[in-house]
Amino acid sequence: MDTVQDWQTHQISNQFDELQNYNLFSTDQVLQEILQRYGSQDHHTLTEFAQIIGSTEYYQYADLANRHTPELQSFDARGRRKDLVEFHPAWHKWMAINRQYSSHAYPFSHSHSTSKWVDWAARFFLAGQVECGNLCPNSMTLGSIPLIQNEPELWAKIGEKLLSNEYDERDLPIAQKKSIWLGMGMTEKQGGSDVRANETFAVPVAESGRGKAYLLTGHKWFFSAPMCDAHLVVAKTEQDGLACFFVPRWLEDGIKNNIQVQRLKEKVGNRSNSSSEVEFKNAWGIMIGEAGRGIPTIIEMANYTRLTCSVGSSAMLRQALTQCLAYTRQRKAFGKHLAEQPLMQAVLTDLALETEAAMQLSFHLAHCYEQDDALSLAWKRIMTPAAKFWVCKRTVELTGEMMEVFGGNGYVDTGIMARIFKEAPVNTIWEGSGNVMCLDVLRAIQRDRESIEVLFQSFAKVASQDVILHNELQALLKLFSGLQAHELQFMARSLVSRLVILAQAILLKQYAPDYVSEAFIQTRYSEFHGRVVGMVDAKVVDVKRLLARAWAD
């Protein structure tokens, strides 16, 4: 007679969990080279930060925060309106660790540092590899700081609380808190990216103009994130057109401001973070920036948050690539490890090239935010929306490819690969869709023609060393100077894509080892590039060195 021991039908072998409990910084050769190049002295702190967030504990916090999503409590037990969003404790763990290491404000709290933006990008990049949702309030707070600094009276009240590294999750008036978060409210359902179509209306309490109090009435279709202590909101005025307003969650007298959260959005990804619809019913706010300059004011904030999109998407690529490399070096199929199979090597090599190119671009762009020379300004004006368009778009496609490396295990929601895949599209949409980014690139060039000339002149110094890059630069020069406005707009996606790939190739040619830059150039300017991942020629890539460089396990 058979016994229970005879029925061993569920024996687990050749199965491996996603990578956890490793140092995200010390295993990243490319990131270390980038920081050294830009003069960072932050190696010790970043190693410490990376060890904490790479621990099994923080991977579990990330999982919990995304499985136990925010809940809206509209009323208290007696029917009083409270509009409170409750989070799982794991969310607060991530908010606290990012606050502790100044992911929300590093360039402004360390303004003396010559590598402050690169050091910030490293923090944002490391954290974004494990939990992306909490980076939304970090990003918006970062982008809001330079706007608030332009308002001396307001900055005197809240500046220290914005810069503070102490996390304070309490829902209280700003004056009673140790630190605060700022969010954003632009999008309305009838306009979307067309902010000029906004209908939210602001009426002065007494005097009108900058620094004066207004009452706002209207609706915001996306309001991120509603538990922030204040939001920067675009509304129209009767006399001065659109303006930007600082709208706190609580008034100074301890009464909750008249902002009613209608519901939380059920999003594809970004599940740990709360996004909402709200109504303003004579909500109190202060005009910041010049009257009638609401869009330019809020776009200044958006320029920073668009940079965070590029860095954040690069982080997703990096994490997914690392997971793929760790998995394929353990998993066996057809008698060999997956990482030893030639076709899998082609896929992994292509992914490694794309990931490094995204990192080089995003970190160089962050470096340009530290400078005020003509070339750095050209990078900021043109390449910020261009990088946001390309890196975020590529992340959507490539994270799907990376998820496939895990087979069915990658497609289930119990692992990080599926979460990254569902997270990726948020950065293509938030802070302006792909089309808006391409149009912003064209606008930047049209408003300041010298900026594209300065940019291309810098490219030419490197492109002259390579026939492929030289020819591509000449072709782009001809297109940007020869096409009519409507033709430029029709071809904008093609032009911006080519511009970014050229910029990536230039940076790799300048700063990466020859075997990296040559592989990138030969594959990216192949007729097959972009059709699917892994269409590379083994003759032009050094597989062994590229994959060893990608992750030092």
The 10s digit of each residue's pLDDT in 26-36 is 999 999 999 99
**Average of per-residue pLDDT across 387-412:** 96
> Of the CATH numbers 1.10.10.10, 1.10.1200.10, 3.90.79.10, 1.20.140.10, which one belongs to the domain with range 297-550?
1.20.140.10
> How far is the C-alpha of 25 from the C-alpha of 548, rounded, in Å?
15
Report whether pLDDT(8) > 90: no
CA 434-451-374 angle, 5° bins = 120
Of 54-58, 109-113, 362-366, 536-540, which range is least confident? 536-540
Q: Residue 49: which pLDDT band, with cuts at 50, 70 and 90?
A: very high
Q: What is the pLDDT of residue 44?
A: 97
Distances (CA, A) of 266 to 70, 72, 111, 222, 518: 10, 12, 38, 12, 44
> How far is the C-alpha of 166 from the C-alpha of 292, rounded, in Å?
36
Tell me whether domains 174-293 and 297-550 share a fold: no
Rounded to the nearest integer, the mean pLDDT of the chain is 95
Please, what sign has the CA dihedral across residues 345, 348, 351, 357? Answer: negative
Q: What is the pLDDT of residue 439?
A: 96
Q: Tokens 């037990």 identify what position? A: 77
Q: What is the pLDDT of residue 23?
A: 98
The 10s digit of each residue's pLDDT in 75-99 is 999 999 999 999 999 999 999 999 9
Residue 286: CA count within 13 A, CB half-sphere: 18
The 10s digit of each residue's pLDDT in 117-142 is 999 999 999 999 999 999 999 999 99
Report whether pLDDT(395) > 60: yes
Of 135-144, 257-266, 406-415, which range is least confident? 406-415
Report whether pLDDT(344) > 80: yes
Contact 459, 386 (CB under 8 A): no
Of 347-351, 389-393, 444-448, 454-458, which range is least confident? 444-448
**Average of per-residue pLDDT across 48-59:** 98
Q: What is the pLDDT of residue 528?
A: 80
**Average of per-residue pLDDT across 360-379:** 97
Report whether pLDDT(459) > 60: yes
Q: What is the pLDDT of residue 269?
A: 96
Instruction: Kindly state the DSSP code that residue 256 receives in the 8-state scheme.
Output: B
- Name the percent of the chain lying above pLDDT 90: 88
Q: Pick 196 or 243 by higher pLDDT.
A: 243
Report whether pLDDT(1) > 60: no
Burial tier of 533 (Cβ tally within 10 Å: 0-12, 13-18, 19+): buried
As a three-state string, the secondary structure of 182-193 is: EEEECCCCCCCC
The 10s digit of each residue's pLDDT in 138-195 is 999 999 999 999 999 999 999 999 999 999 999 999 999 999 999 999 888 887 787 7
Q: Residue 2: which pLDDT band, with cuts at 50, 70 and 90?
A: low
Q: Pick 374 or 528 by higher pLDDT.
A: 374
216 forms beta bridges with 202, 283
DSSP 96-129: HHHHHTTTTTHHHHTTT-TTHHHHHHHHHHHHHT
476 residue type, one letter = L
Give the strand pairing for 213-224 and 241-248: unpaired
The 10s digit of each residue's pLDDT in 272-326 is 999 999 999 999 999 999 999 999 998 899 999 999 999 999 999 999 999 999 9
Of 189, 192, 190, 182, which is closest to residue 244 (Cα–Cα)?
182
Q: What is the pLDDT of residue 244?
A: 96
What residue segments make up the domains of the chain, in order of their start?
A: 29-163, 174-293, 297-550
Spell 118-137 as b/e; 16+ CB within 10 A means b.
bbbbbbbbbbbbbbbbbbbb
Name every residue whose Cβ is closer than 8 Å to that of residue 461 and which is 6 or more positions away in sequence.
Answer: none
What's 174-293's CATH class? mainly beta
Which secondary-structure segment (H or E) carries 388?
Answer: helix 384-405
Q: What is the pLDDT of residue 372?
A: 92
Q: Pick 4 or 41 by higher pLDDT.
A: 41
- Name the percent of the chain lying above pLDDT 70: 99
Contact 167, 99 (CB under 8 A): yes
Q: What is the pLDDT of residue 5?
A: 63
